[in-house]
Structure 1
Amino acid sequence: MNKENQTISLGSVSIGEGKPCLIVPEGGDNHRGSLAAAKEIAHSAKEAGASIIKFQLHLPEEEMVKKGMEETSSSMFKNWGSLYGFIEKNLLKPDEHAQLMEYCKTIGIQYFCTPFSLKAAELLRDMGVSAFKIGSGETEDMPFIEEAAKMSKPMVISTGMSTWEEIGLTVDVMKKSGTSFSLAHCISAYPPKKTSQLHLGVIREMRNRFGVPVGLSDHTPPEGVEDSSGKKISQEETIWGAIGAGAAFVEKHFTLDRNAPDADSNFSLDSKALKNLIQTVRAAEEAFDKERAVFDQEKPVWIWAKRSVVAVRDIAAGEMLNRSMITSKRPGTGIRSKEYHKIIGKKTKRSIPAGSIIQWEDIEI
């Protein structure tokens, strides 16, 4: 990964190089159009340990053609007729988003939002949001991306349903704009069911190709996915894999009640699961620490597993040492074998019996 745009500010929180993996609960439209419920979602996320909460600002007429959506999305949103119908029934109005953002400030959690149209982005800008989240459907919407980038708000851009070429076009636009941004690997399946559908290696590849922080927008259900043998792989194991690949953040859908009749409740986390995920990620980060030293827990093994310089034969006092006189054996209680060259050509102070571990006090330095 190159050194370009390695840290991105989303307001009171940052993502990128040297920062903890940020867990982003996605409240989405799980408030079902209720400002009170949206506030409760934000409060619940805060109580679970989250430092940011994401919502969505929808203006149906600005983002969708109603008839076209009825023809293409009715099977996924059959309880509402189409995605258009679902959004109409479950959205928060712009003034309610403004109130929600103020509430988030009051309780100390960062408000974050996805605009699904240019008009929505303009409204959020005027509200004073710190950053935008761009959904996967808008990744290659160049008119939208170009105009949103001009607003100079840091952007997190999801990449579901996109080819490398399409992602590259968006990256080019963003880099030319000078607006800081991050990418989110995303599989736009709700939810994915197999490990082979996760493609977590894309996280590292994106980082290498584009030189920006990359995270995971994850739709795996809390109960996990199956590998090719049918074994259940937990959600936590998926997240560990993402962190191992370098994920700067993980976005997870979040709900107050997994049994609620919401469009995404079946793959959302509740408060208890969110708290557990945050704790799991912090533990994973400890496991992925990059320090390399002789750790305290290794020292009992170090003393017997490392090797010392040992006399091959009896060595008289005053003899000059050469390579044929010594070998290396366990334990590591004498001159370290890595330092054997320091005693070649040196004289001994005393006689050293064959098979003895040679100490520094045995050598004239």
Structure 2
Amino acid sequence: MADVPVRIGDRLLGDGKPCYVIAEVGNNHNGDFDRAIALVDAAIVAGADCAKFQMRKLEEVYRDSSLSGKDDDLAVEYTLDLLRRFELTIGQHKKIADYCASKGIEYLCTPWDVKSVAVLEGFGTHAYKVASADLTNLPLLAKLVTTGKTLIVSTGMSTTEEIKTAASFLDEHKANYVLLHCQSTYPAALHNIHLRFMETLREIHPLVGYSGHERGIAVSMAAVALGAIVVERHITLDREMEGPDHAASLEPEEFKALVSGIREIEAARGEKLAERVLSQGELINRENLAKSLVAARDLVPGTVISESDIAVKSPGQGLSPLKMSELLGRELKRTMAADDYFFQSDLDEGIATARRYRFDRPWGVPVRYYDIERFLEICEPDIIEFHLSYSDMERDPAAYLSGTYDLGFVVHAPELFAGSKLMDLATPDETLRRYSLEQTQTVINITRRLKKFFPKTKRPPIVANIGGFTMDVPLSAQEKAERYRIFAQSLKELDLDGVELTPQTMAPFPWHFGGQRHQNIFIFPEESAAFCAKHDLRMCVDISHTKLAANHFGFDFYQGLAQLGPHTAHLHFGDARGLDGEGVQIGEGEIDFDEVGQVLRKHAPTASFIPEIWQGHKNLGEGFWTALERLEGHV
């Protein structure tokens, strides 16, 4: 194989690249140009990468005696009759190629003879398909190699030795090519397909795909799971039409389902990992359901820990039970009440502790009612952010707060309310929207009551995850616009006197009840900034969420922060990794906080912030103090 990248047009082919999906029209147009165009349109709607046709000059492909019908059997006579009736002209092929170019889908073709190659070279074709019947046609392969184009080579009807011979020929001529495993019967019986022969093909040549003629889509999707980098399937408007390929073809909705399934498999297949990485949803469920090592009784510093001092209980927010042997015999360095968690720091030399941090913008920490006094004893923040749960909404703040505090404050509204209801001020479900309005108004009223404890804050921000999520698929642009319109209506129905509702930027895949959803609004910076400008809103920009959105949708993260900056009231700082690794400890993800700092100093110089680190509050806020240490001097 040549050393240059293997590609078709702008698409690179290979391991780690999206599977290249070929919609094989072949002769399923049955000689009708308009039907051919309709099949191209169907391929586009289905999400195929290319629409492929076939071109042959019968006098070049068949013997004169075969063409005259003198001495061949009925099968050849039947085939030739169909080919004559179903053939498109060169002019029609050119129009189809031009139509494909205008619609942004690749036009490919299988040339069955040398003269057809010459014609297709005049079209500017980017690659060529070699039919299974021509795997052993070395003169045709030699001609195709001279074009310098990528070859997609089917291996149906050929022995292993024939495949090796053809591959050696292509390698000697430094061709760029992909071998397609293929069972050339129409439709193919499942027991004849032997998908794992792809493993043998990969020993012959590293780039392997699959050309399928089976019924349905499961086998073709399985080929992708087994590493096929190209999948070819026939497409038809009607499987009942005349012609040999229709029965082994997929109708448009089936083809669309195939492409969708392939993309889902690619997303799920991921990478070969040396270490298993827990998803954010698993971390949430682990925290809720797994076990921790806890103190079996009240313990004092200096206690040499024995088995009788340790119990194993849920939730999984402390030291794993797998660490019990390491804990035994250690001298405890802190006071523990019964049921307090043991932490990794009990095995280490010490933990990160709080101090007075120095930032050029107001900074603070997230708190619950019950731990505000404890946190204020060990650090001196400029602000605090109350993270309310739905149970907190029933509590009287005066039971936890007294006097006044020389601090600013922010309130984070619950995302989950009683009865497993998720806040959604943008939902078309009027019952849920009304419930969300009622609960949000309650949060607003609580925030007003908190103002007497924090007289420095005249108009406290309320951070809110507005909603606009869907269970299984993302919304269309039109549907998203409707969700924004509904939220705008909800804003008009809330009494916001004396407070400021600040929508939070969201990640593309929020975790609700330990499972994934699709988020649809307040993801794209330009879109969010435009909404804020129109409705005189400011936002809470969650740095981690916005980075995950940039990773998924491909927009420039730092440019996005610049767009959001003028509309930013408050910030959540956490690192991010991949598509759903949110709230990662600072410096352990993919964000350059020096660059974040430069952008925010220019575009949001007065916005306050807190560290938003996954389980940062544990062990007296150990995760928060680590984050603040690492952020100091950068943001």
- Shorter-chain TM range is 0.7 to 0.9
Partner of 1:224: none
TM-score, normalised relative to structure 1: 0.81
1:30 and 2:28 are equivalent in the alignment: yes
Alignment equivalent of 1:280, drawn from 254, 261, 281: 261
Cα distance change of structure 1 residues 267 and 55 upon mapping to structure 2, 3 Å threshold: same
1:293 and 2:277 are equivalent in the alignment: yes
Cα distance change of structure 1 residues 278 and 349 upon mapping to structure 2, 3 Å threshold: same
Partner of 1:203: 198
Which protein has the larger Cα radius of gyration, Structure 1 or Structure 2? 2
Cα distance change of structure 1 residues 330 and 51 upon mapping to structure 2, 3 Å threshold: same
Q: Deviations over 1:204-256 (max 9, x none)?
A: 332344212x21111112xxxxxxxxxxxxx2321231111111122111122
Cα distance change of structure 1 residues 350 and 254 upon mapping to structure 2, 3 Å threshold: closer
Alignment equivalent of 1:157, drawn from 153, 157, 179: 153
1:348 and 2:332 are equivalent in the alignment: yes
1:129-140 equivalences under 5 Å are 129-140=125-136
Mapped partners of 1:270, 1:95: distance in 2: 27
TM-score, normalised relative to structure 2: 0.49
Mapped partners of 1:111, 1:320: distance in 2: 75
Alignment equivalent of 2:244, drawn from 263, 273, 280: 263
Mapped partners of 1:24, 1:140: distance in 2: 22
- 1:299 Cα deviation after fit: 3.0
Partner of 2:46: 48
Q: Deviations over 1:278-319 (max 9, x none)?
A: 222222323323374222332343136655456799987425
Alignment equivalent of 1:103, drawn from 82, 99, 103: 99
Q: Structure 2 regions of 5+ residues with no counterpart?
A: 351-635
Let me know the Cα RMSD of the aligned residues: 3.3
Query: More relative contact order in 1 or in 2 (CA 8 Å, sep 6+)?
Result: 1
- 1:154 Cα deviation after fit: 0.6
Give 1:22's aligned amino acid: Y
1:48-87 equivalences under 5 Å are 48-68=46-66, 74-75=74-75, 81-87=77-83
Cα distance change of structure 1 residues 352 and 6 upon mapping to structure 2, 3 Å threshold: farther
Mapped partners of 2:300, 2:203: distance in 1: 59
Mapped partners of 2:304, 2:310: distance in 1: 15
Cα distance change of structure 1 residues 314 and 26 upon mapping to structure 2, 3 Å threshold: same
Residues 328 and 337 in structure 1, CA contact (< 8 A), matched pair in contact too: no
- 1:110 Cα deviation after fit: 0.7
Q: Structure 1 regions of 5+ residues with no counterpart?
A: 222-234
Cα distance change of structure 1 residues 12 and 52 upon mapping to structure 2, 3 Å threshold: farther
Cα distance change of structure 1 residues 343 and 183 upon mapping to structure 2, 3 Å threshold: same
Cα distance change of structure 1 residues 218 and 326 upon mapping to structure 2, 3 Å threshold: farther
Alignment equivalent of 1:318, drawn from 269, 286, 302: 302
Mapped partners of 2:341, 2:108: distance in 1: 64
Residues 155 and 181 in structure 1, CA contact (< 8 A), matched pair in contact too: yes
Cα distance change of structure 1 residues 155 and 40 upon mapping to structure 2, 3 Å threshold: same
Partner of 1:144: 140
- 1:120 Cα deviation after fit: 1.4
Greater shift, 100-109 or 306-315, is seen at: 306-315
SS in structure 1 at match of 2:122: helix
Cα distance change of structure 1 residues 7 and 252 upon mapping to structure 2, 3 Å threshold: farther
Partner of 1:359: 343
1:172-187 equivalences under 5 Å are 172-187=168-183
Mapped partners of 1:7, 1:344: distance in 2: 57
Percent same amino acid among aligned pairs?
28
Residues 82 and 243 in structure 2, CA contact (< 8 A), matched pair in contact too: no
Mapped partners of 2:39, 2:317: distance in 1: 59
Matched residue count = 343
Give 1:198's aligned amino acid: I
Residues 5 and 181 in structure 1, CA contact (< 8 A), matched pair in contact too: no
